[in-house]
Every structure is written in structure tokens, then in C-alpha cells.
């Protein structure tokens, strides 16, 4: 019985099913579209079936339209909860040791899911490098260095503030999440990034960062 719960083939199929379910519930900006929460009765019914039949894959369970809807609902809401946890990691009032430990767990999970994503028949479109979003390419290296210096030890919302200031000053164009995350990992989770990129900062918060850019990059503002 114990082996049934850890059947590798079933686990791999379930991961593929879950990834596809989440992808189909993303909007054009990569934000999760949350459906109305499944009823407690339907959720319990599904979980009982899964417990009684551990060899069944998600695909097998989803042959029932009602069970499929409940399963996808739980997967999407579970993913949203996971993203919220990741965003909380970036809060300044969390102990640094805890932040480091949780980030390591998430990093490891991200690597594992990427392995299964790469087995999909649909090719993944790579996000362009950060440098392609710099407006004045003649100063690309200098701008990149200044942005890294400005972000430094900032995390989450504070790191996103630097990106927003660079955009408002016309240093870079609107920077998509994947490109930002690749160049500046401390920006945190996708939903948090998209939220603060559009709204969330006072002029008094942005002004010191903008002055820093103007001081470090005078050729762009002469």
C-alpha cells in the first residue's frame, strides 16, 4: 500500500496535469484567475476517492466532469496559496534565517517542476534578457550596474520600487516579470510584482530613488 502512494509514473502524470491546469487559469499577464471555491462537500468527496484509490492519476479522476472541476479548483487555489506564501518570504520583518531556508525550499521545488515542464510537447518561449528593455542601449552596461546597486539588499516591494522608478524616468520600458526576476531575483513573486508595478508607491517613496538615478546617470538627463 505504501508503494502505491509513491508510484513515480502516476506522480509524474499528476504533476503534468497540475501544471496544465494552472496554465489554463492564467490571464495574459500571468496572474491566476481564481474560480469560485469548490463546495466543502465536493472537496471532501474528491479527497475521499483519492484516499481510497491512491493508484488513480488525476487524469483518471478527471474523467468525471464534476470531479474534474473540483480537482482543478483545488489545484488552482492551492497554487495561489503557495504564491502568497512565497510573497510573505520577502517581508522585512521575517528572520533572515527563515527567509533563506524557505527560499531554498521554493528554489528546489521550482527546479523540480521545470524538469517536468521541459517534457511538455509545447515549447517554452524564453523571455528576452533585461538588457533588451533598456531604452538607451549605448549606456546599457552602466544602467544595469546602477540598477543592481540601487536594489542591493532590497527585497520584494522595495526592490520593485527601483524598477518602477527606472520605468517612470524613461530608463527602461515596462519590464515583464520573467525578465525582472531573472536579472533581479529579489523582486519576489509574480502576483506581488505585477501588483506593485502598476500601483502601490507614493511620490515621496519614489523621489529618493529617482534622484539616485539622476546622480549616477547624469548623461541620460543632461
> Phi then psi for 199, rounded to 5 degrees?
-160, 140
Q: Give the pLDDT confidence score for residue 175 in this predicted structure.
A: 92
Q: Give the pLDDT confidence score for residue 59 in this predicted structure.
A: 81
Q: Give the pLDDT confidence score for residue 191 in this predicted structure.
A: 84
Q: Give the pLDDT confidence score for residue 100 in this predicted structure.
A: 53
Return the percentage of the chain with pLDDT > 90, whole number.
Answer: 31
Rg (CA), the chain: 21
Over residues 42-78, the pLDDT tens digits come to 878 878 887 787 777 888 887 777 877 888 888 877 7
Over residues 161-212, the pLDDT tens digits come to 999 999 999 999 999 999 999 999 999 888 888 888 887 789 999 999 999 9
How many Å apart are CA 3 and CA 154, to the nearest integer?
45
Q: Give the pLDDT confidence score for residue 36 in this predicted structure.
A: 77
Residues 90-105: what's their mean pLDDT?
52
Amino acid at each position: 500500500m505504501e508503494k502505491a502512494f509513491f508510484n513515480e509514473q502516476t506522480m509524474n502524470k499528476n504533476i503534468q496535469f497540475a501544471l496544465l491546469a494552472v496554465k489554463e487559469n492564467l490571464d495574459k499577464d500571468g496572474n491566476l484567475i481564481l474560480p469560485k471555491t469548490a463546495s466543502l462537500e465536493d472537496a471532501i468527496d474528491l479527497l475521499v476517492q483519492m484516499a481510497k484509490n491512491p493508484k488513480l492519476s488525476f487524469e483518471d479522476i478527471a474523467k468525471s466532469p464534476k470531479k474534474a472541476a473540483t480537482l482543478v479548483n483545488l489545484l488552482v487555489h492551492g497554487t495561489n496559496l503557495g504564491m502568497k506564501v512565497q510573497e510573505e518570504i520577502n517581508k522585512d520583518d521575517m528572520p533572515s534565517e527563515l527567509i533563506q531556508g524557505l527560499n531554498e525550499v521554493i528554489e528546489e521545488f521550482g527546479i523540480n517542476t521545470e524538469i517536468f515542464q521541459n517534457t511538455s510537447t509545447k515549447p517554452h518561449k524564453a523571455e528576452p534578457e533585461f538588457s533588451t528593455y533598456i531604452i538607451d542601449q549605448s549606456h546599457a552596461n552602466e544602467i544595469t550596474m546602477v540598477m543592481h546597486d540601487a536594489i542591493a539588499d532590497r527585497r520584494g516591494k522595495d526592490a520593485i520600487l527601483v524598477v518602477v522608478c527606472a520605468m517612470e524616468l524613461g530608463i527602461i520600458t515596462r519590464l515583464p516579470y520573467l525578465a525582472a526576476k531573472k536579472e533581479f531575483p529579489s523582486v519576489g513573486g509574480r502576483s506581488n510584482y505585477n501588483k506593485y508595478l502598476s500601483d502601490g508607491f507614493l511620490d515621496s517613496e519614489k523621489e529618493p530613488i529617482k534622484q539616485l538615478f539622476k546622480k549616477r546617470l547624469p548623461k541620460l538627463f543632461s
